[in-house]
Amino acid sequence: MKLRLGLRIGLILVVTLLGLAYMLPSFPSVRDSALGSMLPEKQINLGLDLKGGIHLTLEADVDTALTNQLAQFGNEIRDIARDEKIALLRPSTRPGQRLAFTLLRADQQGEMDALLSKSFRNLVVQNRARTADDRVEYLLAFTPEYRDYLAEMTVEQAVTTIRNRIDQFGVAEPDIRKQSGGRIQVQLPGLDEPERAIAIIGQTAHLEFRLVDDNVDIERASGGMLPPGRELMTMRVTNPDGSFLERPVVVHSEAALTGEYIVDAGTAFDTWNQPYVSMTFDTRGARLFERITGENVGRKLAIVLDGSVYSAPVIQDRIAGGRAQITGSFTVNQAHDLALVLRAGALPAPVTVLEQRTVGPSLGQESIDAGVNAALIGFGLVVVFMVVYYGMAGVIANVVLMLNIVLIMAGLAAFGATLTLPGIAGIILTIGMAVDANVLIFERIREDLRNGLTPRAAIDEGYQRATMTILDANITTVIAALVLYEFGTGPVRGFAVTLTLGILASMFTAIFVSRVLFDVMTERRNAPAKLSI
């Protein structure tokens, strides 16, 4: 029996030391001391309502994403038709997310229909009309099922891309979740550069490499007279004195290469210490880039990001190795942010900020102070009541209550959970529940003592009778907390986390630890003949 008691005491000591090891680094004075260097680096993360930060509600432009996908289908139809020797005019999108193209020979209508039926089952022919010059005009649209699927995937991809960008931005414990209607909620605790974060989140980062057509007269192009397949864009040029000017440039409408092949991007500096963005393509992208540069030596290749030309260098030679760079009038932060969004990938659609709220750190500190004061007052009242009402047993209850709080804080740090204001409320609630468990046990022991049992027998009987009642009540509460965590958002999930950790800790301390303390007290040689309870 002594050996079993020793093992239980050893287990409690190990758990207590682990709890202190994970809890103490959350205190700055310990974290910055010599002791802190020997403890785990994990600490409690504070939520938006405690640490301050920004709350954003974004809306993804799903219609634009659908239109882009429709244009991509148009390019694929053109390429496959070309391989099948089917003559058609270049497909183009129409309002209402429809795709139109003209079949040049009506006698190929059967082949065209077979091609669409075989390779483009997600498109449906809305209209097919023969013209007077023996052509056939097609009007296509997404099937309703595929349109809903694309809309859902667009928001999902936007959430993933935003999460990747924020992770690289270095924000701890961001809360990013999809909402109904194509909306996305973003909460960034502890962020002190909200405008920079919003710019990074909202940048579409659609990168294209387009060949420049220097044969087009700029004045005629500015007047709207552009050859088919050409587009007039603006390039920002930096003067030697640091000023800027915008220069028109005519580029091919079709991109020679896009940013989807980028696997890495970073900031570098040229010989004049001017920052630029270097990129590395994957194997396929490197092969395409080498072919494009090899076939167009002596021509300009415009680097277009989100519709703006950043630079248009002349291709001097075939570029192998899959590396390219974007130069421009960047500051170091701008080059760093651009590399960040290129690494994280492009958004599938532009996003707009519908709501932006900033929570100041001072408000968060006030919330922390108020929550801690409430917890201390509640803890103090409980300690006094338990000692006055239960005597020595009340002291045992208070000891296990303190261990309970240590384990909750350690659990928050160890599992990387976020402490929010409702989370503090959850801790206060579990203090009451932990005491309630001890009260149930103590009252059973009192009853058995009144029935004439010895202290040793009364303790055994009291714990045996009360344990199942405590387990039943706490398990149902844990189930409720898990439901809250699964379906709740932000602070509600923080409440669920602390409630769950608190209940698990209270079951360990109230049932196991307090029982060991009673055993230690009653198994001594000079054990008291009566229990102070």
* CB-based contact 422:495 (threshold 8 Å): yes
Q: Which of 229-238, 385-394, 473-482 has the lowest mean pLDDT?
A: 229-238
Tell me which residue of 458, 314, 442 sits closest to 387, measured CA to CA. Answer: 442
173: pLDDT strictly greater than 70:
no
User: Are residues 216 and 128 both part of a single domain?
Assistant: no
Pick from 264, 288, 317: which residue ends a domain? 317
385 with 451, same domain: the answer is yes
pTM over 0.85: no
pLDDT of 377 = 84
- Mean pLDDT is highest, among 81-90, 97-106, 494-503, for 97-106
Whether 252 and 306 share a structural domain: yes
Q: What are phi and psi of 286, to 5 degrees?
A: -60, -40
Question: Is the pLDDT higher at 90 or at 408?
Answer: 408
The pLDDT assigned to 140 comes to 93
In a domain, 163, yes or no: no
User: Do 402 and 431 fall within a single domain?
Assistant: yes
227 and 141 share one domain: no
Residue 432 lies in a domain: yes
CATH number of the domain where residue 74 is located: 3.30.1360
Identify whether the C-beta of residue 147 lies closer than 8 Å to the C-beta of residue 140. Answer: no
Domain count, the chain: 3
pLDDT for 239 equals: 64
| Element counts in the chain: helices (H) and strands (E) | 16, 19
Q: Do residue 416 and residue 517 come from a single domain?
A: yes
451: pLDDT strictly greater than 80: yes
Residue 14: pLDDT above 90?
yes
Nearest Cα to 206, choosing from 349, 324, 8?
349
Is 324 contained in some domain? no
In-domain check, residue 193: no
Residue 133: phi, psi to the nearest 5? -95, 30
Both structure tokens of 128: 């097919």
* Tokens matching residue 484: 């809250």
pLDDT at 365: 67
Query: Residue 200 has which token pair?
Result: 């990074």
Residue 353 resides in a domain: no
Asked whether residue 310 falls in the same domain as residue 384, the answer is no
Query: What range defines the domain where residue 137 resides?
Result: 64-147
Q: Which residues contact 40 (CB under 8 A, 6 or more apart)?
A: 21, 22, 25, 413, 414
Say how far apart CA 153 and CA 155 lie, in whole Å: 5
Residue 350 lies inside a defined structural domain of this protein: no
Q: Is residue 367 part of a domain?
A: yes
Q: Is residue 426 a contact partner of residue 502, using CB atoms and an 8 Å limit?
A: yes
Instruction: Indicate if 278 and 376 belong to the same structural domain.
Output: no
Which has the higher per-residue pLDDT, 12 or 374? 12
For residues 14 and 111, membership in a common domain is answered with no
Indicate if 379 and 469 belong to the same structural domain: yes
Quick count: other Cβ atoms within 10 Å of Cβ 291? 13
User: Which of 147, 179, 195 is the last residue before a domain boundary?
Assistant: 147
Read off the CATH number of the domain in which 32 is found: 1.20.1640.10
Between 58 and 341, the more confident residue is 58
Give the pLDDT band of residue 13 (cuts 50, 70, 90). Answer: very high
CA angle 342, 346, 350 (to 5 degrees): 130
**Given this model, what pLDDT does residue 170 score?**
67
Q: Which of 147, 165, 188 is the last residue of a domain?
A: 147
Domain contains 156: no
Mean pLDDT of 301-314: 83
Lowest mean pLDDT among 137-146, 328-337, 441-450, 515-524: 328-337
Average pLDDT over residues 47-72: 82
Q: What is the DSSP string of 201-270?
A: HH----EEEEEB-TTS-HHHHHTT---TTEEEEEEEEE-TTS-EEEEEEEEESS-SEEGGGEEEEEEEE-
pLDDT at 364: 60
Largest CA distance in the chain: 113
Percent of the chain with pLDDT over 90: 6
104 shares a domain with 230: no
Question: Are 121 and 255 in the same domain?
Answer: no
